[in-house]
Structure 1
Amino acid sequence: MARRPLPHRRTPRTRPLVDLGDGRVRLRPAGRPGLSRGAATHRVPAPPRAGRPAARTGLAPASSAGNHLAEAGRPAEGRTIAEEAVEIYRRLSGGNPAVYEPELARTLSNLGNHLADAGRLEEALVNEQEAVRIRSRLSGSNPAVREPELARSLSNLGDHLAQAGRWEEALDTAERAVKIYRRLHNPAHEPHFAAALHIIAKILQREGNLREALRATEEAEELYRKHAEAMPSVLPRLQGVLARRAELVEAIERQEPKPDGTR
């Protein structure tokens, strides 16, 4: 699918990014409280020094500013910043793709999530599909680092496809993510693995394949429970999985006959 240019949608309250030209981007002041001065400037990753991984250079990615704003209840501003972060990393990756393409893929994926949350599913799909293409290519040369990122993008893409009603494509895409996570067999990736399983469960439930959906839900529950104490952030996701499991158990009980032949 060809990438389409994204429209800029700014409101008077939006604080767009300013490219400082030295590897930093800054939120343009808007005369409003909400972000501290220290949180307003973000440095894009600098080219790696000898013996130092690229991921450890520089400060937090610019795209994280958009996530912080969305979490603070300012989704329109977060979405605008995510769009401008994509533009900046696209320009940087044109000059130095080895360093900046991974961050371009990250910002594309973040923007896809922002757009999906706003109901702009077609645009979300365009961005996440581009992220998948970049991460698929990068994973060939550095699978240990890039395959988990590819799996996350595939999981996001599967979710966006499901929201768009493209159920068969959604299932195939989410299953690709699960296949990668199974092969990696790394506890660090298990919360993302659980999220991909829950997407599959949602699709299977919609298709009426309740038993398979229940199995995927139970596996997701087990993975979330392993990390719930150390990572409280997974608790809302665990609650969602538990709610789906209860729905599935009830639906299966309604479908299957009781010993006396009734339902």
Structure 2
Amino acid sequence: MVGRDPAHEPALAAALNSLANRYATAGWRDEGLAVARKTVELYRRLAANNPDAHLHSLATTAHNLVTDLRKAGRPGEAHALAREAERYYLELGVTAPASLGPKTDGPGG
């Protein structure tokens, strides 16, 4: 997109993520996968520049794409992206553990 203002990229990524989910819900799997891939690419760039603000979104978006790829019968792509998402979650566990949910003292809280 020529002339795109980088300040609007987080909103664009969120909108693309929503669109990918809507395509998937409507049964338009290929369209949803294409948009989800673009969303992950955009979040990769955003997280590279500001991981505190965007790494969690990258991790969850990548994880959601893994699920969609598996449903689409693309286990190889899903596995590679799952490994990538795992790295993001491990990094979040070190740098921003609160973003991963509430702390519990074990089973049952």
TM-score (norm 2): 0.74
Higher helix proportion (structure 1 or 2): 2
Alignment of 1:1-263 (within 5 A): 140=4, 142-143=5-6, 145-184=7-46, 185-186=48-49, 187-188=51-52, 189-229=54-94, 230-235=96-101
**For structure 1, which runs of at least 5 residues remain unmatched after alignment?**
1-135, 237-263
The answer as to whether partners of 1:158 and 1:199 remain within 8 angstroms in 2 is: no
CA distance in 2, matches of 1:217, 1:157: 21
Cα shift at 1:218:
1.7
- Does the C-alpha gap of structure 1 residues 231 and 156 become closer, same or farther in structure 2, counting only changes over 3 Å? farther
Give the match for residue 107 of structure 2: none
Task: Output one character per residue of 1:212-254: Cα deviation in whole Å (capped at 9) or x when no partner.
Answer: 1011112112112211352424248xxxxxxxxxxxxxxxxxx
Inter-partner Cα distance in structure 1 for 2:88 and 2:25: 24
* 1:216 alignment partner AA: L
Question: How big is the alpha-carbon RMSD for the aligned residues of Structure 1 and Structure 2?
Answer: 2.2
Tell me the matched-pair count: 97
Cα pair distance change 1:220/1:235, threshold 3 Å: farther
Identity of aligned residues (%): 35
Which structure's relative contact order is higher, taking Cα pairs within 8 Å and 6+ residues apart? 2
Structure 2: runs of 5 or more not aligned: 103-109
1:177-208 per-residue CA deviation (whole Å, 9 max, x = no partner) reads: 11212333231311111122122211210111
TM-score by length of 1: 0.34
Q: Name the larger-Rg structure.
A: 1
